[in-house]
Structure 1
């Protein structure tokens, strides 16, 4: 009986160790799966962060281009307004010069007529 009790105890101990060993394997496997999931999630988050940085950079470049375009448009509008103003001044000066020339020619013609009348009389 002593032999059967010893054999039984050895069998119970072996089964206990086997069960404990299987439980340890399961827990280790679960821990490994959790770690793998965490690593994958971290990699996904890092990739998303990199993509967001790229999108932010593109957005900033687009905003800078829009601002530059608006500045160019404003400068062109100001240049057009200045050209229109200068053109109006040139036109006004040309009109005055034309009027003055016309008056001078009229005066010269009148002087010539008077001189001719004086010569005839």
Structure 2
């Protein structure tokens, strides 16, 4: 019977570690996280447009529009967080 030498053992250890890391990457998880990034980016772009329009208006309307922009950002962030949590759950992450 052949002995398992240190170099062979090291190769087996590296191969095992590589396989365990590859198992962590899930395409569905990646797609859901990408969707979350899209949602957040879209909400930020919409909020930025509202902020820019608010700068042109001024007065009480400006404040109301800025509040609306803040609400759009918060909603987008909440939706993105929910998607990321769903992705983690699908991938089996705590």
| TM-score, normalised via structure 1 length | 0.29
Which structure ranks higher in relative contact order (CA pairs < 8 Å, sequence separation ≥ 6)?
Answer: 2
Structure ranking higher in helix proportion: 1
TM-score by length of 2: 0.37
